[in-house]
Structure 1
């Protein structure tokens, strides 16, 4: 292994930041805006802040950043709406979230939200594609998924018996 190919987690995050305009927080906001706007057509600042469990002042600052890079349209005290580019990226972010969440559910993680949030911002496109393929494989082959579940139960029991 070449030492130039290895980075710390933060090192990989910094590399990704150089390639992306969006921070993890901006991605979370854009994903939530997309979730609501795809149903309602718009979202108001207080509603967004409530969905993300943040203060409206914090939400305002981040929405202004999203507006400055062209992903949302927003006027003070008005509605937040996605631009075409914001819709495309929001759709991708929600799809990425669901792929990871589905994978975690498939392997038996009970509370998937926290782990999904931790993983989704730093996963590579290739790994995401492979998770998507994995999810589809198990969905199309439920007998193999059942064998996995039996194996997992046996593994857990063996581990419990060993102490």
Structure 2
């Protein structure tokens, strides 16, 4: 007969509130990171990043892209030039590079623990924004140990 494990007690309210606050902040940051990462990819691949291309690749309306780009401009991550599309500021480029590196680390880790590449890519889209720095460092150590061990 299988026994159901005893439920774990709730953590202290302050600790639980801090966890939820970190997740809400990660949710807010995720959109900005996804946009600047895609803008960087479009600039690299096509030489330009246009709102219509972002909308198509994100699967959202152009109105959504326009509103988000406005927020990214206010946050100092993106600049627009008339008739020339979107460009990243230095801060936007830094954010895009960090997001890309985190994404690639999470994908490598998920593949190393047995996920297929397609599923790893899909799952990394959510995990990359919510994994703590400690978790990302643990992923790095795991991958390094695996590489050293064979």
TM class by shorter chain equals: 0.7 to 0.9
Relative to 1, partners in 2 of residues 1:76 and 1:118: Cα closer, same or farther, differing over 3 Å?
Answer: same
Across the two proteins, how many residue pairs are aligned to each other? 139
Match for residue 7 of structure 1 among 1, 12, 16: 16
Aligned partners of 1:101, 1:44: CA distance in 2, in Å?
A: 27
Match for residue 90 of structure 2 among 84, 87, 106: 84
Q: Could you list the runs of 5+ residues in structure 1 that have no partner in the other structure?
A: 143-163
Q: CA deviation at 1:78?
A: 4.1
Higher relative contact order (CA 8 A, sep 6+): 2
Give SS of 2:86's match. Answer: strand
Relative to 1, partners in 2 of residues 1:13 and 1:3: Cα closer, same or farther, differing over 3 Å?
Answer: closer
**TM-score normalized by structure 2?**
0.78
Aligned partners of 2:51, 2:83: CA distance in 1, in Å?
A: 8
**TM-score normalized by structure 1?**
0.72
Match for residue 109 of structure 1 among 105, 109, 115: 115
Q: Deviation above 6 Å: which 4+ runs of structure 1?
A: none
Q: Could you list the runs of 5+ residues in structure 2 that have no partner in the other structure?
A: 1-8
Aligned partners of 2:23, 2:145: CA distance in 1, in Å?
A: 29
- RMSD between aligned residues: 2.6
